[in-house]
Structure formats: C-alpha cells, structure tokens
Amino acid sequence: MPNARSTGRRVSAWWVLLLLPLFAGGGWALGQLSGTDVPPAPLIEPPRVQSAGDPRVKEIRARKARYEAGLAATRSGAAPAPAGPAADPPAELSSWTSMGSAMDESRRTGKPILLDFSADWCGPCRDMKRSVFDDWKLGEAVRRAVIPVAVVDRVREEGRNTPEVESLQSRYGVRAFPTLVVFHPGTGRTQSTRGYGGADYTVQWIESAARSVR
C-alpha cells in the first residue's frame, strides 16, 4: 500500500499534465497579442524638399518674418506694423477757390477740378449748395475728390458776367443751372451733368466723374 507522500507526488504530477495545455494556449495567445494581430504603425511620408523659389516656401518665410517683427515690437512696447500692403493715404481736402488757384493745386496734387455753374436766383442751385456743399459729411467727400470752384452767373442781377465767367460758360456750353463740370487739366478729359438729382446722387456722380477723368 503506497504511503501518503508517494500518492501526493503522483497527484501533483497529474495536475501538471492537465494544466500544461492551458499554459501552452496562454503563451500562444500572448504571442498573438504581441505579434501579427497588432496593427503596424502608419507610414509617415518624409517631407518633400522644396526649393527656395517655391511660393509656399516664400509664404512661410514671410509669415515667420511678420511674426518675429510683431514679437519684437511687442517686447519693445511699439505697435506692430499692419500686415499686407500699406493703404493709400487719404486724399487732401481742397477748399473752394478760384479757377487760377485750382489749376495750380491740380498740377501739384493731380486732383480733378469741379466747376459749379449756378446763379443766385436758381432754386435747385440753392438746394444743392445747402444739401451737398454745405453739409459737413457730403461736402468733405466732394472736397476730397475734387478741387471745387464756384462759377456764379450775374446776368440777371448785373446785366452781364465777368470775362472769366463768360469764357467758362462758353467753353463748356452752359445753358442752364445748375451745371456741374469735372475736368482734369493733365488728361484733358471732361464730364458734365445738368440739374440737381439729390444729395447722394450728386456726390456719387462727382466721385465717379473724378475717377473717370484721371
């Protein structure tokens, strides 16, 4: 009759034989987890070498330069320069003046000249003066676009006009009031309109005419 110690060794050996397949299966599972079932890392495409003349390279360098300039300005306490091309400075405001002075200013600044042909007895002329030329905002827009000159007809009040007024009315064929003439001494181009069509329309017409005669 076998003793208890030999029986215990045989029982332990049987347990080892029974558990051996389980250990083998666990090892295979671990191998699968660490092997081909794990998806491979995605391939990373190497960066392409770009020449210095490539527009993308120039844009990146320009952005970097603007960033560094802004950073330096911030550290020094100065305001950074605006990005992009600098805006054109606003046009100079011109005062109502005489024909001779307007010609001199036009040669200096390149601005067109506005001739406002009117008469004191003309109701639409008074409306245009009050609503456009004497208005702070609209009047400034006119003086920014052109050099304004008032040409006032005095035939009804005085029986005749000055030679300068007669010459201008004849040159531009003025037959009614108000008549607006925009011209550029440098290009010789001229635009004209007759009557008063309202404040906004008048300012838009003057600005458009000033651009077209340049």
Would you list the DSSP string of 15-66?
HHHHHHHHHHHHHHHHHHHTTTTSPPPPP-PPPPP--TT-HHHHHHHHHHHH
Indicate the helix (H) or strand (E) that contains 138: helix 136-145
Would you list the DSSP string of 81-96?
PPSSSPPPPPPPP---
| Total-model pTM | 0.60
Strand partners, 181: 115, 192
Single-letter amino acid, residue 202: T
Q: How many residues does the chain have?
A: 214
Q: Which domains does the chain have, with CATH numbers?
A: 99-212 (3.40.30.10)
Question: What does the pLDDT profile of the chain (214 residues) look like in tens digits?
Answer: 455 444 444 445 545 555 555 555 555 444 444 444 444 444 444 445 455 556 666 666 777 777 677 666 656 555 445 545 444 556 789 999 999 999 999 999 999 999 999 999 999 999 999 999 999 999 999 999 999 999 999 999 999 999 999 999 999 999 999 999 999 999 999 999 999 999 999 999 999 999 999 9
Give the other-Cβ count within 10 Å of 54's Cβ.
12
Distances (CA, A) of 123 to 38, 127, 129, 132, 181: 92, 6, 10, 14, 19
